[in-house]
Amino acid sequence: MTWRPGGAVVRREIVGGAPWLGWMVNVVVDSPNLLATYSPPGSPFHFPPGDWPTPDGCHPWHGYEGWRGGGTLMLQRPGDCYAVWLFWDGPKRDFDGWYINLESPFARTSVGFDTLDLELDIVVRPDRSWSMKDVDLLWQRHDEGRFSLREVRNILNLGDSVGRMLDTGEWWWGDEWMNWAPDPSWEIPTIPQGWDEVRSPMQATCAATTMRLPDRPQSRRQRSVPHRSRSTLSSSPRRR
């Protein structure tokens, strides 16, 4: 099953086999090696009721009505445990950097695709310097029971591997994406009825045990991730 460019699909986050967040995204590219989607500004979030592994039982983004800030382009290869997000700012859409969003490999459904945000992120600035984000939050999710210790370790290792890839500068995504712009005729589509009743093909709360790490060299000195280091950035739908 593939989707045509310009079409719209549901991006769902899955916990315990059930969706706990869904929103509509436009399809930019759907090829054997790449799924590129676009989250348009204001695309409404939908939160099914449930007893979720968070302090208040709600998704961490609960309370946000929809996607904030400018639109975001999201690039993910099949099997990868991270997506590359691109941000732009202002009316002239000045490029504002990349954002490596660690997330489970996407799994296709009849209405779109499923994934799960893995909490740890990497901010890559336009000058290509980078830093980890939300290490604290990852451990907090462990304390809340959302991620096992093994999963947290796998996620941290994944972050380190992506960091090594960034250090080499051998990125698989091209610079031409910086100049990409959405088709102005695209509209924010309505989420299909029953979107949260579609069975998820995702097998577990987190695919951390089957993560595909970046192909790049393992020989460079590993960048350490401080345990429970203080995060200086907040978590939000516009997760900068």
> DSSP string of the chain?
----TT-EEEEEEEETTEEEEEEEEEEEEEETTEEEEEE-TTPBPB------SSTTSS-TTTT--B--SS-EEEEE-TTBSEEEEEEEETTTTEEEEEEEEEEPPPEE-SSEEEE-EEEEEEEE-TTS-EEEE-HHHHHHHHHHTSS-HHHHHHHHHHHHHHHHHHHHT--SS-GGGGG----TT---PPPPTTGGGSPP---SS-GGGGPBPPSS-S-SPPPP--TTPPP-S---SS--
Nearest-approach distance from CB 112 to Mg ion, in angstroms:
18
Q: In terms of CB distance, is 84 or 188 closer to Mg ion?
A: 84
Q: Rounded to whole angstroms, how far apart are CA atoms 9 and 111?
A: 6
Q: What's the sign of the alpha-carbon dihedral 48, 49, 52, 57?
A: positive
Nearest-approach distance from CB 117 to Mg ion, in angstroms:
4
The yes or no reply on residue 72 touching Mg ion (CB under 5 A) is: no
The yes or no reply on residue 140 touching Mg ion (CB under 5 A) is: no
Report yes or no: 42 and 26 within 8 Å, Cβ to Cβ: no
Given 114, 121, 151, 196, the residue binding Mg ion (CB under 5 A): 121
Q: Which of 12, 46, 59, 133 is catalytic?
A: 133
Nearest-approach distance from CB 239 to Mg ion, in angstroms:
6
Query: Is position 133 annotated as part of the catalytic site?
Result: yes
Nearest-approach distance from CB 133 to Mg ion, in angstroms:
8
Q: In terms of CB distance, is 189 or 233 closer to Mg ion?
A: 233
The yes or no reply on residue 117 touching Mg ion (CB under 5 A) is: yes
Q: In terms of CB distance, is 117 or 151 closer to Mg ion?
A: 117
Q: In terms of CB distance, is 27 or 116 closer to Mg ion?
A: 116
Q: In terms of CB distance, is 101 or 154 closer to Mg ion?
A: 101
Positions 90 through 109 that interact with Mg ion (CB under 5 A) = 101
Question: Considering only 120-128, 149-157, 188-196, 225-233, which stretch makes contact with Mg ion by CB under 5 A?
Answer: 120-128
Q: Rounded to whole angstroms, how far apart are CA atoms 78 and 184?
A: 28
Nearest-approach distance from CB 134 to Mg ion, in angstroms:
7
Total residues interacting with Mg ion, rule: CB under 5 A:
3
Question: Considering only 23-31, 85-93, 110-118, 176-184, which stretch makes contact with Mg ion by CB under 5 A?
Answer: 110-118
- Kindly list the catalytic residues: 133
Q: Which residues bind Mg ion (CB under 5 A)?
A: 101, 117, 121
